Structure 1
Amino acid sequence: MVAFCPFCHNLLFVEENLQGKLQFTCNVCPVFFPVKKLILFRNFYKLKEIDDVLGGEEAWKNVDSTEERCPACSHDRAYFMQLQTRSADEPMTTFYRCCNPDCNHNWRD
């Protein structure tokens, strides 16, 4: 919850008053409101899977393979694709997928 001043609509900040209690204070208006209860929110956002970023299974259909050892199963070939993930002056990022159908491990270089 974000508290806003009812008069000037600026953000209210939490400060400690002279009695040691917490209060919402506006930096523009001379108003304050005592904090009556603890309000706590936590949001845990789901991280994107690497396949979601690369375009899913469909993106790996027509890619080339190269001699690259899989770190998971030590298979000696891997599919690869290169994407520009950072700004234009940075090098492209190479993404790999193991050619072993039992493994299908993804990693990047």
Structure 2
Amino acid sequence: MEFCPTCGNFLQYELPHMGRPARFFCPTCPYVCHIETKVKIKRKQRLVKKEIEPIFSKDDMKNGPTTDATCPHCNFGKAVFQQLQTRSADEPMSTFYWCLNENCGRQWRED
């Protein structure tokens, strides 16, 4: 993808015509970029996968209030919870749970 250096719009591609080389042109301003015959187009780009950081750390959850929520993974009846406003103000808060079963310890959320 190429963008116009003058106005920032997406440049359009035009095929060669009557001896004129192929070119990129801006549909809004007079900017034109002629394409040489030996242009290498790079199509692959490796993306580095970032590690996902938890919203709440285990230390945050250990000191939180407990509730009688049932873990969907192990069906244990106690969990620690935290609430956070993740969407707009007119939407309800998201509740994040952490299972207190020592063998489970999974996290889940309810919106």
TM-score (norm 1): 0.70
Instruction: Give percent identity, aligned residues only.
Output: 35
1:39 aligns with 2:42: yes
Whichever structure has more strand as a proportion of its residues is 1
Aligned to 1:60, the other structure's residue is in SS state: helix
Gaps of 5+ in 1: none
Comparing 38-47 and 84-93, the one that deviates more: 38-47
- Cα–Cα, structure 1 residues 59 and 22, in superposed 2: closer, same or farther, change >3 Å? farther
- What secondary structure is seen at the aligned counterpart in 1 of 2:11? strand
Displacement of 1:107 in angstroms is 0.5
Other-structure match for 1:90: 91
Distance 1:13 1:42, change over 3 A: farther
Q: CA RMSD in A?
A: 2.9
Closer, same or farther: CA 63–43 of 1 in aligned 2, 3 Å: same
C-alpha deviation, 1:10, in angstroms: 4.2
CA distance in 2, matches of 1:22, 1:59: 59
Q: State the Cα deviation string for residues 35-58 of structure 1 (Å, max 9, x = none).
A: 622222464653734x2x23x222
Q: Could you report, residue by residue, the CA deviation over 1:47-93 in whole angstroms, capped at 9, with x for unpaired residues?
A: 734x2x23x22211211111111111121211111111112211111
Task: Establish whether residue 68 from structure 1 lines up as the match of residue 72 from structure 2.
Answer: no
Please give the alpha-carbon distance, in whole angstroms, between the structure 1 residues aligned to 2:105 and 2:46.
34
Equivalent residue for 1:48?
Answer: 52
Give how far 1:9 is off.
Answer: 6.6
Distance in 2 of aligned mates of 1:15 and 1:69:
57
Counterpart AA for 2:50: K
Structure 2 residues not aligned, in runs of 5+: none
Aligned pairs, number = 103
- After TM superposition, the structure 1 stretch with the greater mean CA deviation from structure 2, 56-65 or 40-49, is 40-49
Contact 2:2 2:11 (8 Å CA) reproduced: no
